[in-house]
Structure 1
Amino acid sequence: MRTGYTLSGRYRIVRALGEGGMANVYLAHDLILDRDVSVKLLRLDLRDDPSTIRRFQREALAATELVNPNIVQVYDVGEENGMQYLVMEYVEGTDLKAYIKDHFPIAYQEVIQIMEQILSAVQTAHEHNIIHRDLKPQNILIDQNRVAKITDFGIAVALSEHSLTQTNTVLGSVHYLSPEQARGGMATKKSDIYSLGIILYELLTGTVPFEGETAVSIALKHFQSEIPSVREIDPRIPQALENVVLKATSKRPEDRYVDAASMAADLKTSLSPKRAGERKFTPVQDDDGETKVLPLSALSSAAPVAAEAATKADSKPAAKADDEETPQKVDKKGRKKTRHPRRRKFLLAGLVVLLLVAGILIGMALFRPQMTSVPDVTGRTETVAKSRMQDAYLSVGKVHKTASSKVKVNRVVRTEPRSGTQLKRETVVDLWISTGPKRYKLADYQGDSYASTAAKLEALGFTVHRESVHSTSVPAGKIMQQSVNAGERVVPSRTDITFTVSTGSATVTLADLTDKTKAQAQSYATNHNLNLAFDYAYSSDVTKGRVIKQSPGEGAVVQEGDEVTLTLSRGAESESSSSVDQFSVNVKIPFDNSDSESESDDSDESSSSSSSSASNLVQIYLKDQDHSLSTIYKQMTITADTSVTLPFTVASGKAGAYKVVRDGHVIASDSHVTKN
């Protein structure tokens, strides 16, 4: 993918970070949240397989539930032009494979610290019933602070069906493959434990335990050969630390650690002096009930032995006596014909061999483990599922609860092992029961940025709508109101949410107000949410009380709430006009936010009422030669303490007056305003 390409209109590709067996990785920049992210694009040869795509999306979405400082966070999953992509946290650093190569030998204490972080991440995943399936140093990142972070959780399952045909991919993963996976069995949590043991082996020795020219040869070694001793490579390694490797990499899953937490606890004390005399770990050897097939050489050697035994038995005196009692026949010449027992000996030997082979076949039939298949109980009730398991000679183990948007409440989502798996009879199978679709608790988004909030909710599955309104008190792009109340728990895929978003103040292109009366000008200002200020001047051309000029002028573009100054005519100047006093009075209008504070404490109030209470409506009345207290001189909206200058024109020796009304209440007045 070329640099500069914007994926889904949001993720701008910066540069390529690397190529893997399954996906290509790019550094990208999230244009909405303004942060660097890693983008993984599914490889071209995997994009045409519907099952791979479904698993890729399902497993990646499941991985978004994993919250752990040692797991690379998955932010988003999407598709564009047939390209399946995954958006993840960008970790600046290197992978563990390169880290081992650059820093080996690594101090034992640092090895333990790295493994403890990895085990913490795996434990979190296993608690969410997510198996990694492809744990290897290449999937573990080390950032600049030496914090380990596991990536590609769940993605490996999409690759498993193709790995046998992808040589390079297998060679990268088969070194860490558990014996049961190498045999073609299902990966379990114990399989991840095995891979962790191999990673610990590599941290301690700098190399993997098994090498080979092909993936098959390496896989064979995993279930046929014992793990080489790390102490033979480095004798300084304590026996307790080697025992962690040996137990984690036991051939039988039941001999390994119960979970990642148990392995972490054992690893934590492996350098303790108290464990200095610890013996080498040896898995418990017991009869697992499997049929032992005798080699063909054993069967072929049994016949001569049986024949020899029969011959010796016929040569004993008892046989001779028996032979003497055998009737004798006389030929035509009168000679006796003796009957030899050779034929009887061969018959007895053949019978012994026949009985021996029959016994072996009967033993094989009796002791061969009886196999059965896990029935498909998806969508069934727990009671029905248990009954089906009993019919299949299987036992139900733990019953887990899990959210599901596809399976009804109290119905089986899946089993572990999966349906169709061949198992010995009486094997334990765990059930996962649906609790219904996963619900999401909505927050209070009022005042938040619409762009980032909408992107987050849409990634979770919400359908988000926008309604835009003008506002003089809420900045553009901020959410003023939401259609679904904060605190409600809803199913994202079934929920539409509408946000009322501020576009800021609307713009107004001023009309020509010259020659308008004061009342006409005030009506225009009210309709367009403008504030008016008035000046006065004598004019012989413009009738008294009409507008001589305006500032800003006609055609100017202003914001709602802006102030426009109009100069009104006093009429023609007369001789008496010179005997007037002109002066100004400054008045401070305090802002009252008591309503806003009381409303913010009331969680049931809507955002619109909260927004309106964040400002005061102020009306000023003036009395002088040009104004009357019965009409509004100036109307304005304030959001903080504001000072205004009131101009007065009164006859010499006379007084003016003013009155200030805030939200319907008179807060200031003076009925005797003079020049001095």
Structure 2
Amino acid sequence: MIGHELGGRYQVIERIGGGGMALVYRAHDILLNRNVAIKVLRSQFVHDEEFIRRFRREAQSAASLSHPNVVSIYDVGQEDEIHYIVMEYVEGKNLNEIIKERAPLQVDESVRIASQICDALDHAHQNQIIHRDIKPHNIMIGRNGRVKVTDFGIARAVTSTTITQTGSVVGSVHYFSPEHAKGVSTGEKSDLYSLGIVLYQMLTGNLPFLGESPISVALKHLQEEFEEPKKLNPLIPQSVENVILRSMRKNPDERYVSAKEMLQDLETCLLPERRSESKVGFHDDYDEDKTRIIPAIKPIQRGSGIRNGGGEGMKRDVDDYPVAKGKKQWVRPALWIGVTLLLLASMFSVVLYVKAMLDVPEVAVPYVINLPLEDAKLKLDEAGLIVEDPLIKEYNPDYPEGVVFNQSKPKDTMVKKGSSIVLSVSIAKPLSKIDDFTGMTFDEATKVLMAQGVEQNRIIQDNRNSSDTPAGEIITQDPLPGSGFDPETASVTLIVSEGEESVDMPDLTGLTQDEAAAKLEEFKLVLGDVKEDASFAVEKGKVTKQWPYDKGTPVAPGTKITIYLSTGYPPEALDYTFNLPVAPSQDGKKTKIRIVFADARNNGENQEWGTRTIANTQVLPVKMVLAPNKDGVVSVYRDGEFFETYLVSYMDAKNNTVPMPQLEPTAEPTQQPATEEPTAEPALSPDNPDTGGTDGNSNVNQTGALNNGKDKGKGKSKDNNGD
């Protein structure tokens, strides 16, 4: 493929990657002169018509996406048996390479990357596109830090014929959702589950599920719980772990409703008020406490069902009371018997109460380490135990704020019910007070901060203009002086002065001194020295150049600017009039003469002298300015066609020895000013009207005349008297 030209416009340069379904090449778009990435379908799939049809349809769907975090698809095509997709070329690394190089990543960097991925998924889901293969290999990180999600729609096109191809579906099993592993229909929430795994891997450097085979990994997605990320990386805030726990729920109904909801959670999870929030809780479908089986309550029969007839026996127990005889004689004894029984019952109750007080049951101490304090109290209360007050509150770097890190009785220790348990709870890390760096240089402040434990990459320089603080000194800082900060995690921004705000130097060339001064004042600049400078190009009294700043250069307000004013031509300049004889193409016929000349002015560029229409031989004065090493040149055009060029040397002009062009007329022409309609025409020889005579040697007195014959004025030069 390398060196091949696809579609008549994509020149394949090199292979840059590939997977189980396609190979990726870097190519150059000849038509638009830009680099592109081309994904080419592997040859083993080119005869699967259903795959090709879905491949095209999904690629076209992905091409409808337009988002800064989605790799743009430019073109889809086929050439012979080559099926390809042309997409945006991202210069950078994929997320998998970055994780291998330096995982675990910083929390804020991981959340920033996950937020951009989630934003891309939200855009795709709104356009009814499900990615189905979110993994670090499909996430590109550009050199500018921009996240780009690629391969939209490709994984969705996989059929049963690709399930055994290495690197396609099986290769992504570590990022499968449980419903994906079951083989049932997957939707938007499957992408969110995969994104949760990517965030888990960025923050811990590990995958949540590993196994000896893809099948064993898929089963773990369905059956097993993953190790919580905070156990692998205690620096993860609880709010960030909650995002992972919610996105990776096995039950899709317990995940985020949409990518938009997850994005909102990612964008706020690092706010100070959320970092130490309580751990998110879920209802476990298999929790024994959720559903209990209560034994049925059966009636107790007081008589034998066989002997007494079952129901009839119960009826007799209720209804057959003896008939009282001689009721009054039994009143007093019954009263005494009742009082005695009541006293006995009271005494028995007291005995039972005392026994209960003395005979307290034992309970097992539950394990409450790693639980938030409120959850730990609830768990101990359920076991019949009491949390001793006051709590032991200490900072523990291995546990987030508000989480129990020690208990006075180990797990499963048997203690009397109602016993007190002492808990040790982690508090926020004590913060240091940041110094005041105002007036110091950035390097000086950096040395102080690094000595306190702040890494250099977390010390940020922000340059700003200031009229009050000298350039190079610190104006202010964030955090402000005296604020609490953690040197191990905090980022410090130092605002450094660049001095006063600069202005762009205006162009003063061609202005008078007063105009230049007004212009400088307009730009808050000051007119400094005024010097003189001879110039051929700028007229006397106007600025030829400025110093020390050219036009457009940034200049601090109040800077003094020196200008040079033209004194006119230098002393060695020579004003010279070159008398140019011209003749019509034919005697008596109107001919348009155009003269162009160059001299010491305008850097030797051509200048238009003008155009004249003549019908007879005339002399036209061409005024020139000459200087040493700056000779003059005169060019003549006749009726639009180039006729002749004449060199006017400075030394010849100074010595009055400039050779004059000559004509050979039949009679000596009279010099006269050039006019649109000449008043007289020179007499030409009737024998040879085109050349002005038969011998070709006629001259013009004083200045000479231009030959209008075939030699174009290149006749021999003679003296000014025509001898």
Name the TM tier (shorter chain). 0.3 to 0.5
Name the TM-score, length of structure 2 as normaliser.
Answer: 0.43
Structure ranking higher in helix proportion: 1
